[in-house]
Amino acid sequence: MNDTRSIDIREFINARPFSGFQWLVFAICITIVLLDGFDTASIGFIAPSLLGEWHLDKPALAPVLSAALFGLACGAIVSGPLSDRLGRRTMLLGSVTIFGLACLASAYAGSLEQLTTLRFITGIGLGAAMPNAVTMMTEYCPESRRALITNTMFCGFPVGAAFGGFLAAWMIPQFGWRSVLVLGGVVPLLLVLIMLVKLPESVRYMAVRGKPAEKIRAALRRISPDADAAESFTTGEAAAANNTSGAQVVVSRTHLVGSIMLWLAYFMGLVIFYGVINWMPVLLKEAGLSPQSATLTSALFPLGGVGAILSGVLMDRFNGKKIVAACYALTALSIYLVGQAVGNAGLLMLIVFVAGVLMNTAQSSLPALAAAFYPTAGRGTGVAWMLGIGRFGGIAGSMLVAALTAEHYDFSGIFSVLAIGGIVSAAALVVKQLAHPHTGVEQAGKAQPIAH
């Protein structure tokens, strides 16, 4: 360590091995993402039981199935500016508490209307938790491992959803559908107790907001005792005024083009993802596959999320925007080929799996790109707004396929249209690369707000 009494937090974290404390932060954040996946998917697991117990028709489930998606979007968009103003830890504690309590209350819902309202509130908490977990982890992570750690963390979402499916398959026959929601509520509330004791505020956020040196030193000491000698701390970023809001950073002249391109890429990626996830089983049955084959083939698509770990390794070594853009371009090609392979069951399953690997890899890699693009003063807003705006892409994807089926598009035609989303996402990242050859963090001090 240098003899100076001032520590550059960025250099301090980059120069030291990944500590046990940083692994603790990772464990807490990936648990939040796992719970996000579990709670988001839980309504699908209990839907058949709702039909029987409440004597509902399938169309009546539409509001309760979509309520959490709207809540996710609202929670992410609102939480971003609050995160940059109030702190990552405060927002994580609040958001996990909200979705834990709302999910637990959902277990005692007496009507579809009550359940729909509680699912919307659950979605708000979930939508706020995910981007703040990404931001917290990013700000305790060395830059050389940022993409790998962030992408690995994001793999928790499909794992949580899949694990929830296995648990639900065992729990519902034994204890009823409400038990799934009780579990989905109790575990987050227990995690809040751990977070209260073990999780400090983001050290970079504290430095940017001018928090007392004692608090910053205490957090950094958990990474290395070398922090004890420091009397002041900087973030290694060009100084941003403390009264500059996260929203102003995101829409500044320095960041605006990149922000719009990230929003567009994530939005179009979720158009593909939810269009495929929600409609592929139905479309494959209509194309002539048996119900069992249609379900099995469709289940291969979300399994590809583990590709994000390899992508994270490559992004830490090479230009991340180019790698993710290539994944989106190949996603477009593979989604198109899915539509052409419906007559060959073996080939269709292979292409669906490959498409899922490419799609999930690209989509799971975007939060790492966003976290690296924004400076500390706007990182919470930047990541959250990308995730929040993107959620509307999921809603749009389901509506798009419904509209295409109403217009009598065949299987190949529908997947040809969905493939366009991959081309748009790839093009958006190419534009971002041309507009921002360097990350926004390097240019943070030059940001000139164009909105107040």
For residues 440 and 307, membership in a common domain is answered with yes
The packing angle between helices 112-139 and 88-106, to 10°, is 150
The answer to whether residues 179 and 172 touch, using CB atoms and an 8 Å cutoff, is yes
pLDDT at residue 452 in the model = 28
| Residue 451 belongs to some domain of the structure | no
Whether 186 and 292 share a structural domain: no
Give the pLDDT of residue 447. Answer: 38
| 160 falls within a domain | yes
Assess if residue 240 is contained within a domain. Answer: no
Please give the Cα distance from 369 to 135 (Å, whole number): 12
Identify the CATH number of the domain in which residue 16 sits.
Answer: 1.20.1250.20
Same domain for 313 and 189 = no
Shared-domain flag, residues 192 and 59: yes
**pLDDT value, residue 446:** 39
Is 194 inside any structural domain? Answer: yes
Examine the domain organization and report whether 230 and 260 are in the same domain.
no
> Are 94 and 203 within one domain?
yes
Task: Determine the Cα–Cα distance for residues 143 and 237; give it in Å rounded to an integer.
Answer: 13
The packing angle between helices 146-154 and 20-53, to 10°, is 20
Contacts of 215 (CB under 8 A, 6+ apart): 200, 201, 206
| Whether residues 203 and 265 fall in one domain | no
8 Å CB contact between 390 and 259: no
What gap in Å lies between CA 307 and CA 195, rounded to an integer?
29
pLDDT by residue, tens only, the chain of 452 residues: 444 578 888 888 888 888 999 999 999 999 998 888 888 777 777 777 887 788 877 677 778 877 888 888 899 888 888 888 888 899 999 999 999 999 999 999 988 899 999 999 999 999 899 888 988 998 898 888 888 888 888 878 777 877 777 787 788 888 988 998 999 999 999 999 999 999 999 888 888 888 888 888 888 889 888 888 777 787 766 544 445 667 788 888 888 898 899 999 999 998 988 788 767 776 777 777 776 677 677 767 766 666 767 766 777 777 777 888 998 999 999 999 988 887 787 888 888 888 888 888 888 888 888 888 888 778 888 888 888 888 888 888 878 888 888 888 888 898 899 999 999 999 999 998 888 776 544 343 333 333 32
Mark whether 179 and 45 lie in a shared domain: yes
Number of domains comprising the chain: 2
Quote the CA–CA distance of 40 and 161 in Å, as a whole number. 7
Q: Is 232 helix (H, G, I), strand (E, B) or coil?
A: strand
The verdict on residue 167 lying in a domain is: yes
Residues 226 and 306 reside in one and the same domain: no
Nearest-angstrom CA–CA distance, 183 and 180: 5
| Maximal CA-CA distance, the chain | 73
Last residue of a domain, one of 234, 266, 298: 234
- Residue 239 falls within a domain, yes or no? no
Domain end, chosen from 188, 208, 234, is at: 234
Q: What is the pLDDT of residue 417?
A: 94
Query: Degrees (nearest 5) of the Cα angle 265, 269, 273?
Result: 170
- As beta bridge partners, residue 6 has 232
Report the C-alpha dihedral over residues 432, 435, 438, 442, rounded to 10 degrees. -110
Round to whole Å and give the CA distance between 160 and 397: 23
The C-alpha atoms of residue 421 and residue 393 are separated, in whole angstroms, by 10
Do 226 and 273 lie in one domain? The reply is no
User: 358 lies in which domain range?
Assistant: 246-446
In a domain, 452, yes or no: no
Which of 175, 208, 234 lies at the terminal end of a domain, its last residue? 234
Specify the length of the chain in residues: 452
- Spatial CB neighbours of 451, under 8 Å, sequence gap ≥ 6: 247, 248, 251
What backbone torsions phi and psi does residue 8 show, to the nearest 5 degrees?
Answer: -85, 110
Q: What is the pLDDT of residue 312?
A: 67
The SS3 of residue 8 is: strand
CA 425 vs CA 171, 332, 343: distances in Å = 40, 9, 29
**Same domain for 261 and 314:** yes
Residue 438 lies in a domain: yes
Across the strands, what pairs with 105? none
- Asked if 386 and 266 count as a contact pair (C-beta separation under 8 A), the reply is yes
Determine the 3-state secondary structure of 304 from DSSP: helix
- Nearest CA to 100 out of 201, 192, 195 is that of 192
**Within this chain, do residues 147 and 21 fall inside the same structural domain, yes or no?**
yes
Q: Is 234 helix (H, G, I), strand (E, B) or coil?
A: strand
